[in-house]
Amino acid sequence: MKLLIVTQAVDTEDTTLGFFVRWIEEFAAHAEHLEVICLREGKHASLPANVRVHSLGKEGSLQSTPRFARRLRYAIRFKRLAWQLRHEYDAVFVHMNPEYVVIGGPLWRLLGKRIGLWYVHKSVDLKLRIAAFFAHDIFTASREGFRLATTKLHVVGHGIDTALFRAPIRPLGTPVRIVSVGRITPIKNLATLIEAVGILKEKGIEATATFVGVPVQPADHAYEESLRMLAIHLGITDRIFFAGGVPHAQLPELYRTFDISVNLSPTGGLDKAVLESMAAGLLTFVSNQGFGELLGPHAGALVFREKNAAACADKMALFVHTAEDALRVRADLQQRVETMSVSALIPRILSFYATSR
């Protein structure tokens, strides 16, 4: 099989998309040849010999041009590459950006290329509807990760490098070190964790919380400032830390310095940060009900109601007081997340292309 992959970035230092380089490597292990079109190419180790990367040039001088003109040039370059490379691929896999299916879909359909779209987000807009029309297959991590009704949908789980993140499990430290990884934005409900740390303090439990991620939109910057003010108001500034963005390649080592991971996103797609923290052996708490099946018998102890700081604090406190249970649960979580490894995901995705040929 010869495959065209379309993604935003090929860059191991990208704080959001650094993981995708590992996906490309796994695709390459199962395909004769890969052509990869990305918006931006950054730093990465040498990819397998059967992979070629083509950048649309976001890392170049186009950044100084007006946004509309810049996006138009990217679209033209993309369409030109899709046509020029047409004899080098049999099928297409688009990662998270339905606009590329909107732009390339008519051409790919005309050329008889099978189109697959990976999408994990609760947002449904016109772009997604058009992309779903052109796509032959749509892949998502969980049923909550794709909200548009279609018979083309395949729920295939997520794909993380579990071997990279896997680490020995240590007893909980004192203070208990909590981490939350993800963009600083209101939908992440990060204030809940700050309030939970305040409640743990009242319970006599020493705990710190570190937020790893950065604000992107102007409203996000204001939100981060409100979080800092909340910590001041609760008198726990010595327990709340903002680490900024961390390149994906550095996350495995970062996780090894923490005991507990808390993800406060609402119910939706499976957040990759949760899976990575499980693989790293952290005790992982979530407010996303979509993780219930993966957490299995531990869901009752690890899932709390969205924006409920008291429930979050109570569930963490229970494990602080039962150290042996914490070790047992963490070991089981580490084992359970193996079903979400990238080495398991990519063959699952490719199987749908194979059966349709």
Tell me which amino acid residue 103 is: I
DSSP category for residue 141: S
Q: Is residue 356 scored above 80 in pLDDT?
A: no
Residues 161-218 have pLDDT tens digits of 999 999 999 999 999 999 999 999 999 999 999 999 999 999 999 999 999 999 999 9
Q: Is residue 62 scored above 70 in pLDDT?
A: no
Q: How far is residue 57's CA from residue 21's CA, in Å, rounded to a whole number?
A: 18
Helical ranges in 122-186 per DSSP H: 126-134, 162-165
Domain limits, the chain: 2-159+341-356, 163-339
Q: Is residue 276 scored above 70 in pLDDT?
A: yes
The pLDDT, as a whole number, for residue 143 is: 85
Q: What average pLDDT does this structure show over 324-328?
A: 93
Q: What is the second-level CATH architecture of the domain 2-159+341-356?
A: 3-Layer(aba) Sandwich (3.40)
Residues 222-253 have pLDDT tens digits of 999 999 999 999 999 999 999 999 999 899 99
Q: Are residues 279 and 337 in contact, defined by beta-carbon separation less than 8 angstroms?
A: yes
Rg (alpha carbons) of the chain, rounded to whole number: 21
Do the domains 2-159+341-356 and 163-339 sit in the same CATH topology, yes or no? yes
The 3-state secondary structure of 237-281 reads CCCEEEEECCCHHHHHHHHCCCCEEEECCCCCCCCHHHHHHHHCC
Give the predicted TM-score (pTM) of the model: 0.86
Nearest to 7 by CA among 91, 113, 78, 90: 78
ω into 98 cis (within 30 of 0): no
- What class, spelled out in words, does domain 163-339 have in CATH? alpha beta
